[in-house]
Structures are given as C-alpha cells and as structure tokens.
A and B are shown apart, each in its own frame.
Chain A
C-alpha cells in the first residue's frame, strides 16, 4: 500500500465516526490471503487451517459452484458487489483462546466497549466471540461440559469431532443452495459449533458476539447446531460492527438440525454498520415433534437479505419465526421467513414487524409451503409494518404454496403510519412528539423484544432509540 493511499485510508477512518460502535482497535493481523478469490485462495485457507482432505475438496467444489452460479435477481440490486475487492481470510491470532486473560489486549479492548465480560457474568453459560475470521476467545463453562454439550468455534470442532462434524456439515444447506451459500462453503472460517446430547436441556442462553474489524473484509462464519433427541437449547448471536469507508461483505451460513422432540431457539439482532452487505442463509431441519424458533432482528447493514427457514420434515414438527426489520436512510432490509411443511400435522408461525424511516426500504418476503404429505398442517403469518415518514417504503411479498387440500393458512398483514390518534393521546399526557413516536415504535416491536434475553432487549431498545434520533421534525 502506498503512503498516499495509507494516508487517504486513515483520513477516511477518521471521518466515519458517527456510528455508535464505530470505534476501531489497532490490531496486527498475522495472516491474510490478500484481496480477491480464486481456487488458490481457497486452497491456502484450507492449508492455513490444516484441514482434512474432504474439507478441502468440499471447499473446492463449492468454489466451482460459486464461480458459475448466478447472482440472485429476485431481490435487492447486488450489482455493486465486486468479489475481487474483498479479503476472504484474515487470522487475528495464532489460535482460539479459552481464557479471557489470554486474549490479546486490543481485542479485549474492543469487547470491553461492547460490554461482553459483564454480560457473561449474568446471562451466559458460554461465550464464543468471533473477531475477524477466527474465534479468539472461547469459554465453555463447567455446566456445559458436565452436561456433555459441545460449544466451540467451528474450526476447532472440525479438528476435535471430525465424525460428528462430517455427518451434519453441509447437510441442511448444501453448497449449491445459492451463490452466497457456495461462497461461504468455499471460504468459511469461524462461527459456532454446538452439539446438545439427547435429553439435555440448557436453560441459560449460549451466546456469541461477532465483530468485523478489518476494512473490505468478508466475514464468512459457519454455524452448525445439532440438537439431539429431546434436547433443548437457546443460542444468542449478536452483531455490532465498526464503520468503515469501503463496503464489507458478510455471507454467513447457519445450519441447524433438531432431532425428534428437540427444541432450538436461535436469537440474533444484527446491527452491522451501514456499509455492510449482509447476505445470510439460515435454515433448520426439524424431525418429529421438534421445534425450531428463529428470533431475528435486522437493524443495521446497507443491504440485508435473510429469510430464516424451517424445514418441518417430521410429523408434528413446529417452526416459529419472530422478526423485526428496521430500514433507515440508505438501507434495504429484505427479510422474512420460510416455512416448509413436509409432514402431517406440522405447524408454523411467522410474526414479522417491519419499520422504515428516512427513505429506508423494508420488505417482508416470506414463503409458506405445504407439501403433499403435510396433511392437517397449520400456519399462521402475521406481518405488520409501520412507515414513519413519506420518504420511506415498504413491501409485503408473501408466497403461499399449497399442495394438499387439508391445510390451514392464516395470513394477516397491516401497514400503517404512526397513528395521529395515538400520537395525540400520548402527547396530551406530556410526551414530546419524539418521545411519543418512540414509545409507539417500541410498543410495535414489543412482541419481538419480549422474546429476547433481557440484556438484548435493553440493547435493542438503545439501538432503536439511536436509530430514531432525529427522525422527528
């Protein structure tokens, strides 16, 4: 990098400071693969990680598919993506840490600003924090170990539990699923791996914090969760990213397998900075009487495309998605849910709350499919939208596909502006217009917020207040 470019870069970094979590910690990257993607880059990533042959081959097949796959054309315009501009692998430190004391100071500093250690004390039973591409801090508490729960970064899981890993990896979301799933499959790094043994119920949520900390760096974490028969787990993933001046790409894959009678709840609030393209594939497969719940919040990023899916393949399986999407200035939130009913008496619920303001564009895009064998299946879809000003946009695009005649689908949708009567009512008790609007919006997303662990609900509240600031007047 020339001195001039370096200086320019430094300047830009100083300019972009208005984002709440827009601080950046200096940290020396030990290894990266440089800009751009090729078969050689994929081989290098696999070599750095010292992976088994099958994973290298999997990555290479995925890369080949990625190279020829079309960009999705049915959603937001992604033509600005230039795959040569991203760095696909950066390693921040030599190996994953298991004790907070050993974590490098710069990284600690970043997490301190996010309040991770305090959060852990109260709510967490395990922490796995992703910093750039590799998990650096990892702490399995005793309780988890004693229960036989495996909770570690995905790279370590590949080394330590090769058979279990191979049995499930790429089964829920094959690399050929879509272009970005293929990209992730080729260059994935980090993410969480969770295995919950039969009958084990963990009440406290397991939590991971993700954070991008290098400019123009794609983050391609790969999460794999296996909930064995009758087991029960709640996993919380949180994202806040510093602001950078060049676009960053986040293309994650989350695969979840819920065996007979198991239950898994996956909660996340993404608050990527406003330059991030967030293109994520999340899917769960549910066996007989298994229950999958996606609690999915989308507040940040420039463009998000995310439709958590439940494949209800076992009899009586149940899928739930409760989501919010908030699009502010320059943001496109294209989010929703998919419920694929493949077995009798399966049921699903989708509750989606969308908000747009300051020219933001929010779309609910969802699919409910009832296959031939899904006799007696039921689904309920509720999507509500508030548009906060006349600059902003919202669309509701529900697909219902029904292939048998014994199903029930309820679909409700509302679109409204902040009601003048509600505003008048709250203001007549002394709240300013801004306070009143904020209160109405917080009430609107309450069905989502109440599903979150308390500290996340508080954080969501603060994030939305920041987003709402200056929206009135």
Chain B
C-alpha cells in the first residue's frame, strides 16, 4: 500500500473526523506548530457539525459541562479575529421561556441548583421584561431563564473556517478517506485507510456518530448511538428576533438568521442510518416541535417551511461527551457530544491539543473521561 504520510521523525498527528471538533483540534495543533493530517470519510462538516441548529449557549448545560462551555465562550467572543472571518458569532441572548407553572417551577429549581454549584450566568426574567425584549412572544409567557451573551453561529461557516485556518497554518486534510483499521505497530500506530496507510504516534478520534467504531479499532469499547435530530428552516420574514429562544422543560431552539429565515430545532429525532449516511424525516416529530414553536410565536402561523433536515449525531449513555485519552498510549477521543457539542468546539479543540502535547488542560476533563464507560470484567 502507498504511504501517504511522511517519515517517522516528523510524523503528523492523525485526526479522524473533519467536523467541528476535528477541525478545531487541527487548528490549535497547527497553531502550535504540530503537523496534523485530518481524514474524513466524507467531507468537512458533512454531518452534525455542518447542519446543526447553530446554538452557541451556556444556558441549560449539565453542570459538569459548564466550565468547558465557559472556556469555549472565550473563544467565541473573539472568533472573528481567531479565524479571520466576519460575523462568525451572533452574540445576543438565549432564553428558555416558561409557558406554564411547571415550566416556571423547573426554572426556579434550575437557578437554585446553579447557584449552589457556584454559577451565576443563568438568571430569571419576568414576563414584562421578557415581552419588552421579545415583543412577538406569546402573551401567556410567565418568564424565562436567560443568559446574556449567548447566541448563534452558522455551523457550516464556523467548521469550514476552522478548516481553512488550519490549512493556512499547514494542516493537511484528506477527504473522502475512510479509516479501515488502526493497529499498534511497534512504538507507533498504523492507520490504514482506503487511500493508503498513515503511520503516526498519535491518533485523535473526532469521528462523531462513527466515533465508537473508530474507538473499537484502537481497542476501546465506547458505546455510542447514532440519532438524527430534525430541524426546519422557514421562508424569510421581516426581522423580529435578536435572540435564541427555547422552552423550559422542552427542547425547542428557535432563531432568526440575518436573511430573515428562521431555524427551528426541537430535539425530535428522525431516523439515522449511520452506515449509509442517510437520515429520514418523521412528519409527526416535525409537527410536534413546530407546534411548540407556535406556542411561543403564534404570529408565525402562515410562514412557509422550505426544508426539513436531520444530521447524524453520536449520543453517549449519559449525554456527556467523551473527551480524554484512550486505553493505549497515543490515542485520544473527542466525540459523543450528544447534540450539544457545537458551542464546545473551540474549547474541545484547545483541550485535545493540550492532551496531545501533554500539557495541563485549563478545564477539568474528569466528567468526560472515556474510562467512565469501562466495562468491569
């Protein structure tokens, strides 16, 4: 087989998966002068990273994930300079509205819980304040939990920008290239692909929904399930929303893009066929979250839906990502973001680069340890 990477002395790190995590990792490593090769079975941002709802939020995160999310926000606030782009991050506010008493109860419990854990970023806003800031909101809203400075970004644009910048810094991307096996070969690893063998000391697995399969090639059993959360985009409307809106106790995410179109996501899943790269839309699921959107913004009754789609994403058992070193030296994992990894991307890239270069990470990664899924003998 042909060799597609250089001699042992300058062996680049091999990153598998050109989604946001893989591209961000490639960027941070390249920035630090570390040669990398990114391989992907499809192309940059083909799946969840290119087609997710684009929410950039700290709001509503699992407490274990907040420090990583806060670290990521540092990067988001300077994303234009970091990646040489324009309007990369729409810094607004993100609010989960309470539509009924159950929602309001959830909200107050959530805020208490965060305060106890030492976090102050989520705050309660009452009905009048909220209607003042989002006049089109349903008049029956009771209030909401809000984070200032959260917002949204165009997923494909950001993933692509990390790719472009990494390439400018020397990273090599090889797509479409499918990894077929990863084998220990003396002191190093041999990554066999359908386009030849790559020898490396370090493999970073950012393969998303396919991360479990890649992990298994390195000897790690990391359970991951592929699902396909559905989204819809609407026709253009006059601008009425400068924030991202969700609901307490629900999974709605609702935003208006610069061109006036609205992206509505709802956590409802279509059918994912990861083996064949296919997804299917389930009409009843779409209907359910569009109805939720209607409860929040009743004025949108006659707005046309242009397209519904679903992206294939990897979910872990506890809905927390897998970030850390594998069972064998030289293997690192960063996947299984369970549909909330887009905002984390820049911080994940940074910490994976730290792990690869054996540096101290600025965030405690213990909650994300791959070993938490270790099967006891």
- B is a partner of A: no
Residues of A participating in the B interface, judged by any CB pair closer than 8 Å: none
Residues of B participating in the A interface, judged by any CB pair closer than 8 Å: none
